[in-house]
């Protein structure tokens, strides 16, 4: 009798077991299906916090430092006597720091006018997908520059504030696909001291920058700034730069051509004297190397 009872229980268990397992699988699938989508930030719109000259919509990771060298040779129209500009050089060396995912600061020094510059960059809105997502990134940049050249006229009273300039910029950008990114950047530049009395202290401009990914490690980039208000009557032109980003491990190496000599916003927006149509263009390169200087905790 006991043997018959045990055989009956065993048979019932074997019959009921698959049904129980199927019910459990259905419950697990139901839980997976009901999992709420997460908000995810869009990354790598640009491979650098700068396009070529101007700021990009991209930010450094917290705890990282970007050591950046911007190097620009002389104008191509100088011919073979100056080896098509390669005998001359202008450069900017900068250090940028990632503070938060949407906050970074930086400092730099240029040979052009021996100028020091610093900036802070903050994005209240980042392009993302999922709930409460945004189709664009909105970032603000505020910077200050200081002219380091000796005073041109020592006979007059010179003020330290006359060396200073400021710029304020808003960046609106979107990564449309894995291969294409576009941004616009309305900008205002203020200079405490201008060259001529008739020159305006405030300059208003609109920048446009973009990136087209050509391969896994190469991308075509450009930035153009059109001065809307405040362009002097003659001798100055709108800056245009085009180039190629090449990723080499921890470096981003950029080869480019530009009609601007200066490499901060005050300089290239207000003092570009080269003309593309006259081959008054400079070949140059930007070299970026990112270092991890502080470990950050990542939430699971």
Looking at residue 33, what is its pLDDT? 53
The alpha carbon dihedral of 24, 30, 36, 40 has a sign of positive
Any idea which of 76-80, 103-107, 168-172 has the lowest mean pLDDT? Answer: 76-80
Can you give the pTM of this predicted structure? 0.83
Whether residue 252 is contained in a domain is answered as yes
Is residue 13 included in any domain, yes or no?
A: no
Tally of structural domains, the chain: 1
Measured between alpha carbons, how far is 93 from 264 in angstroms, rounded to an integer? Answer: 11
Q: Domain for residue 129, yes or no?
A: yes
Could you tell me if residue 168 is inside a domain? yes
User: Whole domain around residue 110: which residue ranges?
Assistant: 53-292
Domain assignment present for 125: yes
Pick from 111-115, 153-157, 251-255, 295-299: least confident:
295-299
Q: Is residue 23 part of a domain?
A: no
- CA–CA gap between residue 127 and residue 122 (Å, rounded): 14
Closest-CA residue to 248 (of 295, 216, 293, 214): 216
- What CATH number does the domain containing 194 carry? 2.40.160.40
Q: How confident is the model at residue 11, as a pLDDT?
A: 47
Residue 169 has pLDDT above 70, yes or no: yes
The answer to the question of residue 167 being in a domain is yes
Q: How far apart are CA 142 and CA 122, in angstroms?
A: 9
Question: With 60 as the cut, is the pLDDT of residue 99 above it?
Answer: yes
Q: How far apart are the first and last CA of the chain?
A: 57
Among the residue ranges 12-26, 43-57, 128-142, the one predicted with the least confidence is 12-26
Q: Looking at the domain assignment, is residue 32 inside a domain?
A: no
């Amino acid at each position: 009798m006991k043997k018959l009872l045990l055989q009956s229980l065993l048979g019932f268990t074997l019959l009921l077991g698959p049904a129980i397992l199927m019910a459990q699988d259905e419950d697990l699938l139901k839980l997976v299906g009901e999992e709420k989508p997460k908000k995810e930030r869009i990354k790598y719109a640009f491979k650098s916090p700068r396009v070529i000259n101007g700021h990009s919509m991209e930010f450094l990771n917290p705890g990282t430092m970007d050591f950046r060298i911007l190097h620009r040779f002389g104008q191509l129209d100088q011919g073979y006597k100056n080896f098509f500009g390669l005998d001359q050089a202008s450069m900017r060396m900068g250090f940028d720091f990632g503070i938060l995912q949407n906050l970074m600061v930086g400092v730099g020094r240029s040979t052009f006018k021996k100028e020091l510059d610093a900036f802070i960059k903050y994005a209240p809105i980042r392009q993302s997908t999922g709930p409460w997502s945004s189709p664009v990134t909105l970032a603000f940049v505020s910077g200050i520059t200081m002219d380091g050249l000796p005073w041109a006229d020592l006979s007059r009273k010179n003020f330290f504030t006359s060396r200073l300039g400021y710029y304020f910029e808003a960046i609106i950008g979107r990564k449309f696909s894995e291969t294409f990114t576009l941004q616009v950047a309305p900008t205002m530049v203020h200079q405490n001291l201008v060259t001529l009395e008739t020159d305006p202290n405030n300059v208003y401009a609109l920048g446009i920058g973009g990136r087209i990914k050509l391969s896994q490690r190469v991308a075509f980039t450009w930035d153009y700034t059109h001065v809307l208000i405040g362009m002097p009557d003659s001798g100055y032109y709108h800056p245009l730069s085009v180039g190629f980003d090449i990723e080499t491990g921890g470096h981003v190496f950029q080869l480019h051509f530009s009609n601007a000599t200066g490499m901060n916003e005050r300089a290239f927006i207000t003092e570009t004297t080269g003309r593309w149509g006259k081959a008054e263009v400079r070949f140059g390169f930007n070299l970026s190397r990112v270092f991890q200087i502080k470990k950050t905790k990542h939430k699971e």
